[in-house]
């Protein structure tokens, strides 16, 4: 294989968008390693529309969006290797690839990790009870139904009430499964009002707020789900043969961690700067690996921005050096805010946007950036909803002093 200038790990929206941008910029050979048998990532099995609005300015179904991103990357000259697992990124920069044709080693000048995120499964949520069949995450369910046409069940409980939970309800409906309840531990849903209303009124799916699943029953197949009302303490047993655990995204950071990349405590993804550089020189990261649970479009835009910054650096340097380690002013969160990406910023060259997450509705919608107690910027959000993408312009941090202490963002 021609030694790639950049090896992109993962052909999801972030990886494909980065590969497209890099290949277009003429940085040299761009190779995308994808462990699945088709490129596109999670949108491949999301059969609803709305994909592409943020990055391509047109609405597409998930599978169509996945195909288009792959076609664009290949059209620009990137090479996508399917059924190819990136096993290791060694300390000396050698990358081991495993596929049906064997085990090969490549030495790219940069590795871009875009391995995405997955939903936390039942066990990791510590939901007690039996271990019956019929327990899904949305990703598993959607592959089950849309890629493999496997039978699901008849009556489902959906855990979660963010966007992806509503997507799960639609997939279940398509598979002929009635959703008997949605369950969220928060006081209200976390999606756009129209989805919530259509599902509750149109599809007659009741939403149990301030509630959580406290037990599964069934020795072979799932038979019932215990749902506790967090306000009253009462427990209802709902008959169901299927339960779908949605959302609660965790980065697929295994390769990143094993490659020696430091993780951010709040996102559990790699700590990156505006250029997508990690704590390990030569290794970049972008997309849902860095900030899990974003839309495909935001992941794609993050991949594109990382690629643009790398291409710009290299266009100034004919020797195209391996990227250095992440650097910049540390940004943290306090109060209701749970995370911010990127973790390191340069006030003189701020990112296009900062991505935030909040743990509660409110208290307010004003994001304030402070440095040493002094306010250096603020931005009013349209909403402050848990489990939703919150985006603020990177200019929020432009007035910070790069030589002073860390920045802290809060929501008031």
Binding site for other proteins (CB under 8 A): 35-36, 83, 85, 87, 98-103, 118-124, 126, 128-134, 136-137, 139-140, 143-144, 147-148, 150-151, 214-215, 217, 219-221, 250, 252, 254, 257
Taking alpha carbons only, the member of 383, 379, 380 closest to residue 362 is 383
How do 135-137 and 242-245 pair as beta strands?
Answer: parallel
The nearer residue to other proteins, 127 or 345, going by C-beta atoms, is: 127
Residue 100 gets which letter from DSSP?
Answer: T
Closest distance to other proteins from the beta carbon of 253 (Å): 9
Q: How far is the CB of 241 from other proteins (least distance, A)?
A: 9
Which residues touch 167 (CB under 8 Å, ≥6 apart)?
46, 48, 138, 142, 246
Min separation Cβ 221 and other proteins, Å: 5
Based on CB atoms, which residue is closest to other proteins, 55 or 119?
119
3-class DSSP assignment, residue 139: helix
Q: CB 149 → other proteins: shortest distance, Å? A: 9
Among the listed residues 79, 85, 115, 104, the one whose alpha carbon sits nearest the alpha carbon of residue 5: 79
Burial of 120-148, coded b for 16+ CB within 10 Å and e otherwise, reads bbbeeeebebeebebbbbbbbbbbbbbee
Three-class SS string for 219-254? CCECCEEEEEECCCCCEEEEECCEEEECCCEEECCH
We find the least distance from the C-beta atom of residue 294 to other proteins, in angstroms, to be 17
Smallest gap, in angstroms, from Cβ of residue 292 to other proteins? 12
The residue among 85 and 395 lying less far from other proteins, judged by its C-beta, is 85
Q: Which neighbouring-strand residues pair with 410?
A: 368
Measured from the CB atom, the residue of 93 and 99 that comes closer to other proteins is 99
Give the nearer residue to other proteins in terms of CB position, either 76 or 82: 82
Nearer to other proteins, 128 or 321 (CB): 128
Handedness of CA 148, 152, 156, 157 (dihedral sign): negative
Tell the smallest beta-carbon distance from residue 209 to other proteins (Å): 21
Query: What tokens does 353 get?
Result: 């946007």
> Nearer Cβ to other proteins, position 74 or 130?
130
Closest approach of other proteins to the CB of residue 165, in Å: 15
Taking the complex as a whole, how short is the minimal distance between the CB of residue 388 and other proteins, in angstroms? Answer: 21
Which phi and psi (to 5°) does residue 9 adopt? Answer: -105, 105
For the stretch 85-118, what's the b/e string if a residue is b when 16 or more beta carbons lie within 10 angstroms of its beta carbon?
A: bbeebeeebebebbeeeeeeebebbbbbbbbbbb
User: What is the C-alpha to C-alpha distance for residues 43 and 149, in angstroms, rounded to an integer?
Assistant: 17
Q: Which two tokens stand for residue 177?
A: 């499964």
CB-wise, 218 or 323, nearer to other proteins? 218
Q: How far is CA 181 from the centre of its chain?
A: 26
Least distance in angstroms from the C-beta of 252 to other proteins: 8
Query: Measured from the CB of residue 119, what is the shortest distance to other proteins in angstroms?
Result: 6
Contacts of residue 53, defined as CB under 8 A and 6 or more positions apart, other chains included, come to 59, 297
What is the residue whose two structure tokens read 């149990």? 208
- Per-residue CA distances from 5 to 31, 79, 147, 307, 323 (Å): 8, 12, 33, 12, 11
Q: Are 338 and 357 in contact (CB under 8 A)?
A: yes
């Amino acid at each position: 294989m021609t030694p790639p200038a950049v090896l992109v790990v993962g052909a999801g929206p972030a990886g494909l968008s980065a590969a497209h941008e890099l290949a277009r910029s003429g940085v040299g050979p761009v190779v995308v390693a994808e462990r699945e048998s088709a490129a596109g990532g999670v949108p491949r099995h999301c059969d609803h529309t709305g994909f592409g609005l943020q990055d391509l300015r047109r609405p597409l179904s998930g599978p169509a969006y996945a195909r288009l991103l792959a076609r664009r990357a290949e059209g620009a000259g990137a090479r996508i290797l399917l059924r190819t697992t990136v096993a290791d990124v060694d300390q000396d920069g050698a990358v081991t690839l495993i596929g049906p044709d064997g085990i090969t080693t490549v030495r790219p000048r940069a590795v871009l990790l875009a391995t995405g995120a997955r939903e936390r499964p039942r066990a990791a949520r510590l939901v007690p009870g039996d271990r019956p069949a019929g327990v899904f995450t949305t990703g598993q369910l959607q592959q089950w139904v849309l890629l493999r046409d496997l039978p699901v069940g008849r009556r489902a409980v959906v855990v979660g009430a963010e966007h992806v939970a509503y997507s799960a309800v639609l997939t279940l409906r398509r598979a002929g499964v009635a959703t008997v309840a949605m369950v969220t531990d928060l006081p209200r849903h976390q999606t756009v009002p129209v989805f919530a209303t259509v599902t509750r009124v149109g599809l007659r799916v009741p939403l149990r707020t301030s509630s959580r699943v406290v037990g599964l029953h069934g020795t072979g197949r799932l038979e019932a789900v215990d749902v506790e009302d967090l306000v009253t303490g009462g427990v209802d047993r709902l008959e169901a043969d299927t339960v779908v655990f949605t959302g609660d995204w965790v980065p697929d950071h295994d390769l990143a961690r094993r490659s020696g990349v430091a993780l951010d405590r709040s996102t559990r993804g790699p700590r990156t700067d505006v250029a997508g550089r990690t704590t390990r020189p030569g290794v970049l990261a972008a997309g849902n690996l860095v900030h899990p649970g974003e839309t495909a479009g935001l992941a794609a835009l993050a991949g594109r921005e990382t690629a643009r910054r790398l291409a710009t650096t290299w266009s100034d340097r004919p020797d195209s050096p391996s990227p250095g380690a992440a650097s910049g002013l540390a940004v943290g969160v306090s109060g209701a805010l749970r995370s911010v990406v990127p973790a390191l910023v340069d006030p003189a060259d701020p990112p296009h946007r900062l991505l935030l997450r909040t743990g509660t509705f409110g208290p307010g919608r004003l994001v304030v950036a402070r440095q040493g107690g002094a306010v250096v910027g603020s931005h009013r959000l349209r909403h402050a909803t848990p489990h939703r993408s919150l985006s603020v312009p990177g200019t929020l941090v432009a007035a910070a002093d790069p030589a002073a202490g860390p920045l802290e963002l809060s929501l008031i």
